[in-house]
Amino acid sequence: MPFVDLREWLGRLDKEGELRRITAEVDWDREIGAIARRVLEKKGPALLFEKIKGYQTGRCTKLVTGVLGDRRRLALALGFPKDVPNRELVQYVMQKNREKIAAVVVRTGPVKENIERGDRIDQAEFPVPKWHFKEGGRYIHTFSAIVTRDPDTRVMNAGIYRGMIGKKNTTPMLLMKGGQHWGHHFVKYSERGQPMPVACVIGWDPIMPFLAGSPIPAGVCEWDVMGAYRGEPAELVRCETVDLDVPATAEIVIEGLIHDDPSTWEMEGPFGEFTGYVSDVPTPRPTMQITCITHRNDPVFQGCLEGTLPGSYSENSVMSSTQRAAIAWNILNGAGIPGIRDVWVPPITNGVNIHVQITKHYQGQPKQIAAALWGASAAQYRYKHVVVVEEDIDASSYEQVDWAFAHRVNAGEGGIVVFPGGFGSPIDPSTPLEDRDVAQLGTGLWNRVLIDATRSWKMPKRPEWDNERFPPTVRPAPEDEARVRARWQEYGLGDL
């Protein structure tokens, strides 16, 4: 179910009761972030701020956040009812991630209604929040699609990376040469002695950040996968000053260049990261030198309050729960592992933890699952802890997984496997600082863990256990359960 642009999507949210317009005056400095956090805690609607202090007139007066901050809204964006089961949603994403409809370039579009160059460039003309009081500045890129191009293959990539306002025309960004697609592009431009062209897209179809925040395979353009989700080619326009293409109906596009020259870098951080912790200390980082800004008339600025806490899931958390599960399932299918029944990524972990439900075919199957996930590029920031359960355990239920962990895991017999020193996240606060040294290591290092919560096949089948390897559970006989259900009202328990 494609949405032409952000405005059509906001109209749908409004109709569905999933958007709240805030007409009281609010401050971009910390107040918007605090409001957004409380609404996430309440599992509330998306927020459209229409009266922002210092921005009631001018280039941009409105800000929207939280559009994918609840699974109900993600289901709507993907064309499903709000209460669609996890398995159905994940399998749809698995399918669409493998499809492509090539994008087309059109002559112009609404994003070209205003073109700003030179002295007219000023990022502060947009109501960019300071989301959290401990952050190093105003983060303009929290939910933007950052577009770059491989100079060898000419294939574009769109990813979500954080970027902070430096000067009015500069944006220091967290750019790592190892593990990220745009990092690979950056290395190639650096080897040529050239700056890397960049375009930052703010506000478009809600599936844009859903895809940009996911590790679509290298060499596949997210705009082409967007076409598969939309059921029609994405319409792109050429940028004004860089060799890149962006959606014609986007709200805002910021163009520029990033040099691999530390003399051009500016201080970035700290930032309230998806881990729920304020990460880093201020650090000199690659900085985008802005060459042009294009935007629609009366554009809507879009951002995301990052950082997930118990009971408070960010948009990134909600997206990751479905997208990272779908990507993992495709990895396991590609590795030829049989019996995958469901994959669940708890939203609270953003994909750092993952639960895989299987029909067990052989004793080493859980280890094969962990090895396949840990060997994939998608594991850069995710899949640190893999839990494998069998079909009688609901992978999305912490209670059921905890029960399986308690009674099916034998740590001394391969139930817990630690894989040390693999590539991983440089922003994980549990990782020693020396293992987060991107300048030296190229990425972070992780000790990954498999919890095999399946029943061991080393146990013999026993006739007194109905020819199973484990004794029967204490669940009543099916006929006893049926009799009780039939008499439930008669017992006077119908209100339970």
Q: Is residue 308 part of a domain?
A: no
Same domain? For 339 and 405 the reply is yes
Largest alpha-carbon pair distance within the chain? 83
Same domain? For 263 and 355 the reply is no
Q: Is residue 483 part of a domain?
A: no
Same domain? For 292 and 322 the reply is no
- Tell me how far apart the alpha carbons of residues 145 and 208 are, in angstroms, rounded to a whole number: 7
315: tokens are 């948009």
Burial 190-228 (b: 16+ CB within 10 A, else e): beeeebbbbbbbbbbbbbbbbbbbbbbeeebbbbbbbbb
Q: Is residue 39 part of a domain?
A: yes
Residues with Cβ within 8 Å of residue 461, at least 6 apart in sequence: 467, 468, 469
Expressed as residue numbers, the domain containing 396 is 315-452
- Tell me how far apart the alpha carbons of residues 222 and 100 are, in angstroms, rounded to a whole number: 9
- Tell me what the mean pLDDT of segment 348-374 comes to: 96
| Among the ranges given (37-46, 79-88, 468-477), the one the predictor scored with the smallest mean pLDDT | 468-477
425: tokens are 């996240």
Same domain? For 257 and 332 the reply is no
- Tell me how far apart the alpha carbons of residues 210 and 217 are, in angstroms, rounded to a whole number: 15
Q: Is residue 359 part of a domain?
A: yes
Same domain? For 264 and 148 the reply is yes
pLDDT for 439 equals 78
Q: What is the CATH number for 35?
A: 2.30.110.10
Tally the domains of the chain.
2
Q: Would you place residue 159 in the very low, low, confident or very high pLDDT band (cuts 50, 70, 90)?
A: very high
Q: What is the CATH number for 359?
A: 3.40.1670.10
Same domain? For 69 and 127 the reply is yes
Same domain? For 288 and 386 the reply is no
Same domain? For 26 and 97 the reply is yes
Same domain? For 426 and 283 the reply is no
Q: What global pTM score does this model have?
A: 0.89
- Tell me how far apart the alpha carbons of residues 38 and 244 are, in angstroms, rounded to a whole number: 38
In this predicted structure, the answer to whether residue 209 has a pLDDT above a threshold of 70 is yes
- Tell me how far apart the alpha carbons of residues 273 and 381 are, in angstroms, rounded to a whole number: 12
Give tens-digit pLDDT for 268-298.
Answer: 999 999 888 998 789 999 999 999 999 999 9
Q: Would you place residue 3 in the very low, low, confident or very high pLDDT band (cuts 50, 70, 90)?
A: low
Q: If we measure between CA atoms, which residue out of 195, 201, 212 comes closest to residue 288?
A: 195
Give tens-digit pLDDT for 321-337.
Answer: 999 999 999 999 999 99
Q: If we measure between CA atoms, which residue out of 398, 425, 423 comes closest to residue 344?
A: 398
In this predicted structure, the answer to whether residue 2 has a pLDDT above a threshold of 60 is no
Q: Is residue 485 part of a domain?
A: no
Same domain? For 123 and 253 the reply is yes
Given 247, 267, 302, which residue is the final one in a domain? 302
In this predicted structure, the answer to whether residue 204 has a pLDDT above a threshold of 80 is yes
Task: Report the percentage of the chain scoring pLDDT > 70.
Answer: 99
pLDDT for 93 equals 94
- Tell me how far apart the alpha carbons of residues 453 and 242 are, in angstroms, rounded to a whole number: 51
φ/ψ of 430, rounded to 5, equals -80, -10
Residue with tokens 């919560």: 453
Give tens-digit pLDDT for 86-129.
Answer: 889 999 999 999 999 999 999 999 999 999 999 999 999 999 99
pLDDT for 158 equals 96
Q: Is residue 234 part of a domain?
A: yes
Alpha-carbon separation of residue 57 from 7, 21, 126, 491 (angstroms): 20, 18, 11, 66
Q: Is residue 470 part of a domain?
A: no
Tell me how crowded residue 21 is: count the other CB atoms within 10 A of its CB: 15
Q: Is residue 24 part of a domain?
A: yes
